[in-house]
Amino acid sequence: MTTEDDAEAGGDDAGDQPETVTVADVYDAIDAVGKPHLTPAEVAAKTGLTADEAREALERLGEDAELERQDVSGAEAVYYPPDLDAVTDRERVILFPDRHEVVVEHADQFTRAQLSQFAHLVDTNRAGGAIYEIREEDVWQAPYESLDELLATIHDVVGERSEHLEEWVRSQWERARKFRLVTHEDGYTVLEAENDDLMGNVARQKLDDDVLRAPISDSESWVNEEMTAQLKRTLYEAGYPVRDDRDLEDGDALSVELGLPLRDYQADWVQRFQEQGSGVFVGPPGSGKTVATMGVMEAVGGETLILVPSRELASQWRDELLLHTDLDESQIGEYHGGEKAIRPVTIATYRTAGMDRHRKLFDERRWGLIVYDEVQHIPADVARRSARLQGKHRLGLTATPVREDDKEEEIFTLVGPPIGTDWSALFDAGFVQEPEVQIRQIPWSDDEVADEYVSAVGHGRRQTAATNPAKIDEIRHLLTEHPHAKALVFVEYLDQGEAIAAELDVPFISGETRHAERERLFDEFRRNERDTLVISRVGDEGIDLPDAELAIVASGLGGSRRQGAQRAGRTMRPVGDAQLYLLATRGTEEEDFVRQQMRHLASKGIRVTEQDAEAVGERSGRAEDDAGDE
């Protein structure tokens, strides 16, 4: 039996045992202090040990080669991990609850994908840091069935609980459920408010008489059905998104059978769309949004109107429907400047469908489904008119709902909530190849061009940076580095495109290229008879551009996130490597433009890196060789 004296002796022996500090504790202390090396005093302050205990613990870790030691003249030794990259590249997530911001450093793909579910990417930097903001609309549109699921994801990402933030998220979640549209038993549309005050002081104050026809009760109003889009937009801008629970007409029946199986995530999109009755498929290029839409057509079983931005895209839709469904040519019509046929499935351009003289024809048809392809066009004045068309279900399709006028929220207001925003799941499952995205910093080709940039202003300055001749050297270098890759080189300026095509001895495709010639070149590219094409802005959307293993953006539409994602999308394929390089002239505003272009991709979990041009050394080497030959 142990005596009290024995116990006291044991206690003294235990007290002689030094406190334990692990390398993980040192990493945590490094995070807290904000520098990669620590003194014993700093470790003591962050671990609760005495200075002597911290010093002994650090000395043991140094003896075991788990830490490096550096003696400093006139001061205590400092300790640091052998691999500094293990510290400097560690993922860090910092929450600023009062500002509703999350700052991350070196976030992995999973963290970035989680953040994309409830936050908006505001800015990134070259060192791998990013700032996310949780906005009202991010909470309103968060793809979760319950508030608890949303809060759980936020907690998983930030690693801490914040009563202030959670209370604000809760209030926004509830705010998105204050108003809803329903169908009265007599068939007309009713706006319901959660309480009398909301109806009287918000809805009836904000909405004109041509939107709300008459009050039904203190919390209900009769709605002009033709003005439902205006109602949703007005209340959304007032901070109250409206749930659309109307029992719309089913539309005329149409049996559609899809001839190929849906992938698991596509089937999930279709199921979520059926549950919601409307929505926007937000998936990367190559994820099969068109096929998933055919799955929706099969599930809805109603006549369908498909709206597209161009006649060429209308023809592509017709071909895809004939290829993958049991619809025949007599059931599919196109309605645009070149052809005008309304059939059970009609494919029309936004411009034509938005014209008053044509819209009446579409209104006379009872559509079970209206599809908005490239739905990011819908906030534009011409395309918005098509949102007044009535259908049982509305489905939008886009890889890039972002708009430079910040009107992307109107997409979800006019069409429906986003579906399929988690791109990382598609990358992880191998359905779509995640591209390697890199910004290359290009020096000026010579002092004369640099001086031209300094003296230019406005658009002239942007064009000078975009068409920097040194970019041709880097393009040639990248093509040499990827000798077997099928490559697309994108340009914004026709003169630049012609110059690059001439230097590389490859074709240049622009809006001035005849349709037949364009299709011939694309077919040769698909059949591997050509491995490189230079393409202007005509390749950004609305044409069936072949996929490539390598995309090089020599110049772009200053800062357009949508254009950046569309061009990256040309490399997103089910198999193989996929690489995107964006060339930016160093020290110019073009650097900021390309970073801004990549924000949408970064918000989807795609890692974007930066590097100096590699062709500079080669050019210098060639110059030295030439001098030596002389």
Question: Which pLDDT belongs to residue 17?
Answer: 42
Q: Do domains 15-86 and 433-622 have the same CATH topology?
A: no
Q: In this structure, what token pair is assigned to residue 227? A: 């003005």
Helix 311-324 and helix 289-300: axis angle, to 10°?
60
pLDDT in tens, 562-583: 444 444 444 444 444 568 888 9
Report the C-alpha gap between 376 and 132 in whole angstroms. Answer: 22
Would you give the end-to-end CA distance of the chain in angstroms? 97
| Cβ atoms of residues 595 and 452 within 8 Å | no
pLDDT in tens, 302-316: 899 999 888 878 888
Provide the residue ranges of all domains of the chain, joining segments of one domain with +.
15-86, 91-175, 179-240, 264-422, 433-622
Q: Mean per-residue pLDDT for 370-389?
A: 68
Q: In this structure, what token pair is assigned to residue 206? A: 């904000």
Q: Mean per-residue pLDDT for 322-337?
A: 92
Question: Which pLDDT belongs to residue 75?
Answer: 58
Question: Which pLDDT belongs to residue 545?
Answer: 53
142: phi then psi, degrees, rounded to nearest 5: -60, 130
| Range from 131-145, 147-161, 590-604 carrying the lowest mean pLDDT | 590-604
State CA 58 to chain mean position distance: 45
- Domain 433-622 belongs in CATH node 1.20.1070.10: no
Report the C-alpha gap between 267 and 273 in whole angstroms. Answer: 10
Q: In this structure, what token pair is assigned to residue 157? A: 């990402």
pLDDT in tens, 332-376: 999 887 678 889 999 988 888 777 676 667 777 778 898 998 887
| Cβ atoms of residues 106 and 55 within 8 Å | no
Residue whose structure tokens are 């009836």: 204
| Plot region of 11 (φ>0 → left; ψ -120 to 50 → alpha; else → beta) | alpha
Which residue has better confidence, 127 or 450? 450
**What mean pLDDT value characterizes the chain?**
77
Q: Mean per-residue pLDDT for 456-483?
A: 89
Q: In this structure, what token pair is assigned to residue 557? A: 């539409």
CA separation (Å) from 236 to 137, 175, 414? 9, 11, 10
Of 106, 107, 108, the C-alpha closest to 428 is 108
Which residue has better confidence, 566 or 180? 180
Of 585, 521, 519, the C-alpha closest to 556 is 585
538: phi then psi, degrees, rounded to nearest 5: -60, -20
Q: Which residues pair with 334 in a beta bridge?
A: 347
Q: What is the CA radius of gyration of the chain?
A: 30
Q: How confident is the model at residue 496 (pLDDT cuts 50, 70, 90)?
A: very high
Q: Mean per-residue pLDDT for 454-468?
A: 86
Q: Is the pLDDT assigned to residue 630 strictly greater than 50?
A: no
Q: How many CA atoms lie within 13 A of 277 on its CB side?
A: 10
Q: In this structure, what token pair is assigned to residue 269? A: 């999109």
Residue type at 254 in one-letter notation: L
Q: Kindly report the CATH number that applies to the domain delimited by 15-86.
A: 1.10.10.10
| Cβ atoms of residues 572 and 579 within 8 Å | no
Of 463, 462, 468, the C-alpha closest to 449 is 468
Q: Which residues pair with 527 in a beta bridge?
A: none
Report the C-alpha gap between 144 and 610 in whole angstroms. Answer: 34
Tell me the CATH class for 264-422.
Answer: alpha beta
| Cβ atoms of residues 257 and 298 within 8 Å | yes
Q: In this structure, what token pair is assigned to residue 7? A: 């116990």
pTM, full prediction: 0.53
Residue whose structure tokens are 């046929």: 341
Q: Mind spelling out the 3-state secondary structure of 53-117?
A: HHHHHHHHHHHCCCCEEECCCCCCCEEECCCCHHHHCCCEEEEECCCCEEEEECCCHHHHHHHCC
| Cβ atoms of residues 435 and 572 within 8 Å | yes
Q: Is the pLDDT assigned to residue 126 strictly greater than 60?
A: no
| Range from 31-40, 272-281, 473-482 carrying the lowest mean pLDDT | 31-40
pLDDT in tens, 67-83: 777 765 555 677 777 66
Query: Residues in the chain, how many?
Result: 630
Residue type at 183 in one-letter notation: T
